[in-house]
Amino acid sequence: MSESTAKPLEANGVYLCPVCRHGQIAPMVLMDTYACNFCRHILSLDVVHQTARLEDSAMTFRWQWTGTNWRSLSTPPVSLTYTAIMLAILLVTLPPALIWLGYRIFPPLSSDPRAHWFPLFWVGLTFFAHLLMILRIFAGLLPTTPFVGLHFRGRSHRVP
Ligand SMILES: [Zn+2]
């Protein structure tokens, strides 16, 4: 343990980024916030409580400064994740289902197979457009990936 190199969290200091654990966070010009030079996430530091908070995410992520490193204070909100997944499934499946229902209730008057191609194509397009939207949203909400891996650091494959 390198206790001798431990330093308190201070304003205007440069610290390891708690999000990516690769870049360094430094004060932003004319701002009270800090930015990482690698992952570009924006954080605010609380020098009284020695904590950092992620500012550019819809979800709250906080870390405690231990003097040498960051310790995550955020536990994954399971209920929120469950609700979000349910909403995501609804948002992906409901619009194409409605379009498909409309196609079934009011089928094209022509028996030409080309007249049936377009509504089904539209169902597929709606599905993929909403799926892409959901994936974009979830990708933006997942700065968790770098520090999920952290829990596995130092874990030995062999049980002593
Ligand atoms: Zn970073």
Calculate how far, in angstroms, residue 34's C-alpha sits from the geometric centre of ligand 1: 10
Taking residue 73's Cβ as centre, other Cβ atoms within 10 Å add up to 15
Calculate how far, in angstroms, residue 36's C-alpha sits from the geometric centre of ligand 1: 5
Residue 100, pLDDT above cutoff 80: yes
Calculate how far, in angstroms, residue 80's C-alpha sits from the geometric centre of ligand 1: 25
pLDDT of residue 145: 45
pLDDT band at 6 (very low <50, low <70, confident <90, very high): confident
Residue 151, pLDDT above cutoff 50: no
pLDDT of residue 78: 61
Calculate how far, in angstroms, residue 42's C-alpha sits from the geometric centre of ligand 1: 9
Calculate how far, in angstroms, residue 78's C-alpha sits from the geometric centre of ligand 1: 25
Calculate how far, in angstroms, residue 21's C-alpha sits from the geometric centre of ligand 1: 6
- Stretch 85-113: mean pLDDT: 89
Calculate how far, in angstroms, residue 55's C-alpha sits from the geometric centre of ligand 1: 13
pLDDT of residue 141: 59
* Alpha carbons 85 and 139: distance in angstroms, whole number: 13
Choose among 131, 123, 139: nearest CA to 92.
131
pLDDT band at 65 (very low <50, low <70, confident <90, very high): very high
